[in-house]
Amino acid sequence: MAGPGLKEMAGSRELKLGHFIVEFATPGIGQILKGAGCDFALFDTEHSGFGFETIKSVTRYMQAADLPTIVRVPSKEYHHIARAADMGAEGVMLPMVGSSEEARAILDCLKYVPDGRRGVALAIAHDRYLPGPTLDKLAAANRRTTLFAQIETRQGVENADALAALPGVDCLWIGHFDLSCALGIPGQFDHRDFGDAVKAVTRACRKHGKALGRLVPTVDEAVALHQAGFDFLCYSGDVWALQGAVKAGLDEIRARTAGKAKGKDPSKRSKSKKK
């Protein structure tokens, strides 16, 4: 039985946990993440180098695993937004959204009439190649597509209330590294200015009943952010999870064998005693 889609998830303040894909677009990735207990996946095309052919393939892998997927596109250009949606992206994430005017322009690219101006292509990847009445198809696509607007600039923080108030914006997602850089405090997430910016975005989401999301590198940080009001949490990413797990195992093997390597060989000690 199919689980909740991204639109339904965004309408709830319950905790949603996912994983970030930036390197491994393997055919098994959807089943792997579903088996790990993910509620959603975040597939990156801003920094990964993945193109539209890969988006199209990966969305099929995720559909097969019944794993709702957000695709982060590299820009606010029409051809990035609309094509990602055409390839089957249920959720689309946009970097550095600074104003409600920008968000409205994004929605024009993402939604069909009467909610937007997206060019119509039906019975293709996004609606699973199924036939059907045009108006029903357009309405279903508009209900399904989910917009995640990244807050990564001073302007985005200043306009967080207007962004959260806009119908069609489903989640404000804090891009913590870029936001810290925009505030002039790169990587200083304990800085007061960064904390104040996060609080402003959090207040906007609570006021307008919108979801709030972020990438998180550790379990402790995820727990703390959930307690602070975040409900979409993307835990780690494929590169770092694999690297961390392998490194932990190798480090333990080296640590546990170090003493034996420094000691004398028991067989040699036995021979010396016989002499």
Question: 138 is written with which tokens?
Answer: 């357009």
What is the enclosing helix (H) or strand (E) of 16? strand 16-21
Question: 158 is written with which tokens?
Answer: 């200043």
Q: How far apart are CA 18 and CA 221, in angstroms?
A: 14
Cα 69 vs. chain centroid, distance in angstroms? 8
Q: Which of 47, 126, 191, 226 does the annotation list as catalytic? A: 47
16 CB neighbour count, 10 Å cutoff: 22
**Listed residue (236, 274, 267) closest to 24, CA to CA:** 236
Would residue 47 show up in a list of annotated catalytic residues for this protein?
A: yes
Place of tokens 């596109």: 73
Q: Which residues contact 137 (CB under 8 A, 6 or more apart)?
A: 122, 127
| Coil, strand or helix at 176 | helix
Pairing assessment for the beta strands 69-72 and 16-21 based on DSSP bridges: unpaired
Q: How far apart are CA 163 and CA 201, in angstroms?
A: 10
Using alpha carbons only, give the angle 172, 143, 235 rounded to the nearest 5 degrees.
40
Catalytically annotated residues? 47
